[in-house]
Amino acid sequence: MKHEIVKKYQPYRPVDLKDRTWPNKSITTAPRWCSVDLRDGNQALVYPMEIPEKAELFNLLVAVGFKEIEVGFPAAADVEYNFLRYLVDNKLVPNDVTVQILTQAREHLIRKSFDALAGVHRAIVHMYNSTSTLQRDVVFGMSREQIKQLAVDGVKLVKQLAVEYHKKTGTIFDLEYSPESFTGTEVDFAVEICAAVMDVWEPTEQSKVILNLPSTVEMTTPNLYADQIEYFVRNIPRRDLAVISLHTHNDRGCGVAASELGLMAGADRVEGTLFGNGERTGNCDLVTVALNMLTQGVDPKLDFSNINQVAEVYERTTRMNIHQRHPYVGELVFTAFSGSHQDAINKGLAKRKQAEHEGKAITWAVPYLPIDPHDIGRTYESIIRINSQSGKGGVAYVMEHDFGCRLPKTMHPEFARVVQVIAEKQGGEVMPAEINTAFENEYLKRKSPLELAGISAIEEKPDSGEVNLKLKIHSNKAGFLKSGNGEYEGRGNGPLDAARDAIQSATSGRTQFQIKNYSEHSLGEGSDARAIAYIQIEREDKSTFYGVGVSPNISRASIEALFSAVNRAFG
C-alpha cells in the first residue's frame, strides 16, 4: 500500500491489563445464548422477511434450543411490531422462551416497544445508546456526562413502564443495556455508565441486569476485546447481580474468536446469529461457536444434530446463501480433494470402524475431521470427492462406500490413474457415478481381444488335485486365436491356473503371464448377492495389470476377472 494510505490509520490503544487471567482459562460450560437473527431490519437482509418467514425462523430457533430470542426492533418498523404482536396474540412463545426487543434510549421508541410486548409472559427490553469517543465527537457532540444521562433517563422510563405494564398484563420485564460501540469506548467510562444504569434499575438475584458489551465495529484483535471484557468484569460494581453479555461483529473476520476469548475473560452470555448473518460483515456465528464447544467435549445446550435442516430453513427464509467452506455446514467442509488427506481420512475411519467392531469405546479421532459428520446430520458419502489433485486412497474410498467394491490395496494406484485422466480432461470434480462408470468400462466391459463366451466343464481329479476345464473363447481380433472362436481346454492346479493354461494355449503363447494376486468378496447380501473377484497378472516384462469379474458364481467371477486382466495387458 502507498505510504500516504498507511499513515491514515493508527493502531488501537490496548487496555493496560498486565495481570490478565483469561489466557489460562478454557470454556467448560455453555453460556446463555441469545439469537438476534430476527432483530433490527431482519439483520440487514436484501429482501426483508415478512411475517410467515419470520415465524418459521422463530420456530426453528425455538426447536434448536434458544431460550432468549431477540424478535426485532418493534418501534422502528411496522412489520417488526406486527410480528411481535402476532407471536403474543397467538400465544406462539413457549413458556420457557423469553423474547427480547431492541430500542434506542428515546422516549417514544421505548413506549411503543412496551405496547408491542404487552401480554407476553416474560420479555427483555434491550436498550442502547452509543458511548464511543468517535460517536460522542462526530455524531452527537456530547460529553461523557451527557451520554451517561441519556442512558440513565432511558432506564428510568423502562423501569417505570415495566412496573405499569406488569400490573396491567402480568408481563415480567428484564433489562438489557448496551453501551453501543463498547470497543470504541474508554473502558473506564463503559464501567461508569453501566454502573449508573445498575443504580437506577436496582437488579436483584431473581432479576439480574444484562450488561451487553458489543463490538459494534470490530476494531482490534480478539485478545484486546478479551482484555476489555476482563477489565469490565473486574471493575463493575455488584458483579454478582449482572449478566455480562457479548455481541461481536465480524469486521476483521474474528467475531467467533472474539466471543470465545470473551467467554474465557468472564462473560456469561453470547448474542449472535445462525451462520453469522448481520449488518456489514455479520455477527458472531452461533452455530460455529456451539459446535466448536462440542468438539471440546462441552455440551453447547443447542441442538444442531440436523444441521442440514437448519441451513435449509435459514437459506429459504432469509434468502441468504451459506458459503461452501462455511464451518461445519458448508457443502465442502466434509470433503477432501487432496490425495494425502483422503488416504488419512480413509485410514482413520477404517481404524475407528475396527475399534467399534471390537467393542472399544473410543473418542472421535479421525485425521482432518474435527467432528463426526453424523453427529450433526451429515453423512460420510460425500466426505471424499475426486478431482485431478486427488490420490489413490480417495478413489478407493468412493468405490467402497458408494458401490461396495473393496479394491485390493495394490490396485489403488492403477485405478486412480484411470480416474485422474478423466479429471484432468474435465478440468473439475469427478462425481461418484462417473468413477463407477470408469471402473465398469476399464475392467468389467473389456471384451477385446478375448471374450469368455462360456464355461462348458470344470473337472477336478481327486487323486492329483489337477483341474481340467473347457472354455468357450471368442476374439474380435483376426488371427489372435490359433483355431478361431471355439472351445479350448486347460489344465492346472486350480480353476484359475487351468484358465490361464487355456488362454495361453488358445493364443499360441501370445499372452504369456503369471497370476500375482487374487482376492474376492461378496457384493450385497442374501440371495441376490454376487461375487466380485480381483486378479492381478504380470507379463514377461514385469508390468502388472488388474482385472475384475462379477458373477453370482464365484468361479465364473474369477475367470471373468482373469479375462479382464488379460484384455488390459494384451489389448
Residue 249 labeled ligand binder: yes
To the nearest 10 degrees (0 to 180), the angle between helices 51-64 and 78-89 is 60
Q: Count the alpha carbons within 13 Å of 473 in the hemisphere toward its beta carbon.
A: 33
| Angstrom distance (rounded) from CA 182 to CA 130 | 8
Q: Which of 492, 450, 451 is nearest to 469 (CA)?
A: 492
> Which residues share a beta bridge with 211?
177, 244
Question: Minimal CA–CA distance to 125: which of 68, 65, 202?
Answer: 68
Q: CA-CA distances (angstroms) from residue 30 to 33, 100, 267, 301?
A: 8, 20, 11, 7
C-alpha cell at position 436: 463407477
The number of CA neighbours under 13 Å toward the Cβ of 297 is: 5
Q: Do the beta carbons of residue 262 and residue 226 sit within 8 Å? A: yes
Task: Collect all residues with Cβ–Cβ distance below 8 Å to 199 and sequence separation of at least 6.
Answer: none
Pick from 203, 286, 267, 369: nearest CA to 27 = 267
> How many CA within 13 A on the CB side of residue 217?
10
Q: How far is CA 563 from the centre of its chain?
A: 45
Query: Where is the binding site for Mg(2+), in residues?
Result: 40, 247, 249, 283
Query: Where is the binding site, in residues?
Result: 40, 247, 249, 283
